């Protein structure tokens, strides 16, 4: 068996980044799904409901993610600005993530046409992980 392609999606449902090598940790590939878009009440927002998400390119930079979309100025989501606890729900899993920069929220809302929040899962995610060791 040969691995033919490997992608990391730093923001869930946004365009992935192709890598020829990546680091894996207890929760999967490093930087994969570190960020999440949610509705104001914390429900995940995915490309199934908002296909424009896949047109957003994410560039990993030290300290956060630079977000790009055609026709818009890029915006930087700095991880250290994400300090306010915010509930998140991904499928059946509820957990706490971190909310921060409202300018980034507005940037996404302008593209998607809906009220949303960008959340950072933190240096150590609180999302339950099935199949891994119990916390």
Is 12 a residue whose pLDDT tops 80?
Answer: yes
Is 129 a residue whose pLDDT tops 70?
Answer: no
Residue 132 lies in a domain: no
Q: How many domains does the chain have?
A: 1
Are 98 and 84 in contact by the 8 Å Cβ rule? The answer is: yes
Scored b (16 or more CB within 10 A) or e, 27-44 reads eeeebbbbbbbbeeebeb
Query: Residue 131: left if φ>0, alpha if ψ -120 to 50, beta else—which one?
Result: left
The reported pLDDT for the residue numbered 23 is: 67
Question: Which residue has better confidence, 10 or 120?
Answer: 120
Confidence (pTM): 0.84
Residue 56 lies in a domain: yes
- Taking the alpha carbons at both ends of the chain, their separation in whole angstroms is 33
How many other CB atoms are found less than 10 A from the CB of residue 80? 9
Residue 114 lies in a domain: yes
- Cα–chain-centroid distance for residue 56? 11
Residue 129 lies in a domain: no
Residue 58 lies in a domain: yes
Residues 76-124 have pLDDT tens digits of 999 999 999 999 999 999 999 999 999 999 999 999 999 999 999 986 5
Residues 52-82 have pLDDT tens digits of 999 999 999 999 999 999 999 999 999 999 9
Residue 36 lies in a domain: yes
In the chain, what percentage of residues exceed pLDDT 90?
Answer: 67
What residue numbers bound the domain in which 18 lies?
A: 7-120
Residue 1 lies in a domain: no
Residue 20 lies in a domain: yes
Give the C-alpha distances (Å, rounded to integers) separating 29 from 17, 26, 50, 101, 113.
12, 8, 25, 25, 31
């Amino acid at each position: 068996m040969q691995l033919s392609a490997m992608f990391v999606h730093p923001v869930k449902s946004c365009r992935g980044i192709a890598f020829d090598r990546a680091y894996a940790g207890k929760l999967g590939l490093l930087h994969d799904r570190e960020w999440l878009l949610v509705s104001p009440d914390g429900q995940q927002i995915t490309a199934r409901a908002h296909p424009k998400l896949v047109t957003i390119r994410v560039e990993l930079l030290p300290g956060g993610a630079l977000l790009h979309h055609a026709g818009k100025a890029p915006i930087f989501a700095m991880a250290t600005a994400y300090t306010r606890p915010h509930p998140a729900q991904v499928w059946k899993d509820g957990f706490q993530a971190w909310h921060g920069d409202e300018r980034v929220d507005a940037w996404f809302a302008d593209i998607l046409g809906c009220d949303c929040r960008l959340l950072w899962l933190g240096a150590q995610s609180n999302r339950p992980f099935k199949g891994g060791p119990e916390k």
